[in-house]
Chains A and B, each alone.
Chain A
Amino acid sequence: MNAVPQYDPLSFGETALKLRTFRQQILGNNLANSDTPGFKARDIRFADVLKAQMAGSLPSMDVSMVTTHSGHIEGKVTKEDPRILYRVPNQPSKDDNTVDGDVELSEFTKNSVLTEAALGFLSGTLRGRMSAITGQAS
């Protein structure tokens, strides 16, 4: 049997919910820019990012330069979030925009249903803890 990693349901639920709303924002931004020339649709690979987040291995977004002399200027650049990838378009468009309204809207709706599911799990956990504390079923 595969080893299932043991997570605290409360922190797992919180992380999942945060990522869901984060993805909701990305997809919402895709929809908003469906008519912007040259815009590229973005998305995250949810399972991979969630796994990395739970393992606590978040890639750093700051790139700093090494200074070997006191006269060097400290350079610090914030690079793009490496978790956010680009969607592969299934048909090209003349203005180089890769947003496909149908794909984005269905992903958006799917993501919102899954957000509701995450909310449900979190809600159940909270209720369970509450009844453990108070000693009566809520």
Chain B
Amino acid sequence: MSLLATFNIGSSALTAQAMRLNTIASNIANAESVSGPDGRPYRARQVEFNAITSPNSPGAGVAVTKIIESDAPLRMEYRPGHPKANAAGYVEMPNVNPVEEMVNMISASRSYQMNIEAMNVTRQLMLKTLDLGR
């Protein structure tokens, strides 16, 4: 049944968008984390979306294939009293851009809503199909 496939496509998109929201939440939470497990400042993360293709099917949804760390330069903040400060008194801070993250979050939540809407419609159609001939 084709409608079931539509359902699976929708759920793959929900998973992917939720993962994107997760990375955004992680980025915002770590916007001030001067050191991680490796002793280096946190670097902003981004998910990479890729369309899933399968033979004999018009499309099979979307998947997160990679999580990329941003290589943007770290933010330098002047804090002479900080234990992580260098000789000149600067501390390396994460390269998280809060504005970018917020915009990304709105985009992700809109896409999530759109896919929920599509799945709701598909659900109604499936129920109608079950009632066929009654």
Contact = CB atoms under 8 A, between A and B. Distances in A.
Contacts of B134: 123
Interface in B47-85: 49-51, 55-62
B74 to A, nearest CB: 25
Contacts of A34: 111, 114
In this complex, the member of A29, A31, A34 whose beta carbon has the largest number of chain B beta carbons within 10 angstroms is: A29
B59 A24 contact: no
Contacts of B56: 61, 78, 81
Contacts of A122: 132-133
B114 A36 contact: no
Contacts of A101: 110-111, 114
A32 interface: yes
- Which label, helix, strand, loop or mixed, suits the secondary structure of the A interface? helix
In this complex, the member of A26, A28, A101, A119 whose beta carbon has the largest number of chain B beta carbons within 10 angstroms is: A28
B49 A24 contact: no
Interface residues of A, number: 36
A93 interface: no
Contacts of B118: 27-28, 31, 105, 108
B33 interface: no
B57 to A, nearest CB: 8
A33 interface: yes
B70 to A, nearest CB: 16
Contact of A32 (B3, B13, B117, B133): B13
Given A24-B125, A26-B58, A42-B59, A32 B12 contact: yes
Contacts of B60: 29
A11 interface: no
Contacts of A24: 2-3, 6, 122, 125
Interface of A: 18, 21-22, 24-37, 39, 42, 61, 78, 81, 84, 101, 105, 108-109, 112, 115-116, 119, 122-123, 126-127, 130
Interface of B: 1-3, 5-6, 9-10, 12-13, 16-17, 20, 49-51, 55-62, 107-108, 110-111, 114-115, 117-118, 121-122, 124-125, 128-129, 131-134
Given A24-B125, A105-B114, A123-B133, 11 more contacts: A22-B2, A26-B59, A28-B122, A32-B62, A33-B51, A35-B107, A36-B50, A81-B58, A101-B110, A108-B121, A123-B131
